[in-house]
Each structure stands twice: as C-alpha cells, then as structure tokens.
Amino acid sequence: MDNRCLATALFVKVVDDLFDSFIVVACYPDHGRLLHCFLTSAIRHMEYWRSAADKVTTWTFLKLKII
C-alpha cells in the first residue's frame, strides 16, 4: 500500500475513534469499539483523549481558496 494511503487510513481511524468516544450508543463496549460506550472508570476514555489531543494538535488544516 502506498504511504499516502496508509497515512490517510491512520487519520481516518483516529477520527473514527474520536467520534466513537463522544457518541454513546451502548452501555458496554461492543464489536471491538472500546470507546463507543458510557464513561466508566474501567474504560480508558481519558487516556485515549490525551493521546488523541496530542495527535490533533499536529494536524494542519488547509484553507480552500474558492475562485
């Protein structure tokens, strides 16, 4: 796989996990989506958010110039 594809896939995974951590649809983690549930002391939301915050701060958003 091309490195550009891998970088995009990793970015999409981080964004997907981040959304999972904010949107609660289950009482317990399901189907390997460990953050897609209510906050509890057993679930590692805070740990994940710290890690995700480090990644998000490195992102660069490009301003689209509309002609």
What range defines the domain where residue 39 resides? 3-56
For tokens 């509309």, what's the residue?
Answer: 66
In a domain, 62, yes or no: no
Name the H helices within 1-67. Answer: 3-22, 45-56
Using only C-alpha atoms, what is the Rg of the chain?
15
In a domain, 8, yes or no: yes
Total number of domains in the chain: 1
* pLDDT tens digit sequence for 4-60: 789 889 889 889 888 888 777 666 666 666 777 777 666 677 888 888 899 899 988
Q: Cβ atoms within 10 A of the Cβ of 37, count?
A: 19
Structure confidence at residue 57 (pLDDT): 92
Residue 16 and residue 57 in contact, taking contact as beta carbons nearer than 8 Å:
no
pTM of the model: 0.66
Dihedral over Cα of 61, 8, 20, 48: its sign:
negative
In a domain, 10, yes or no: yes
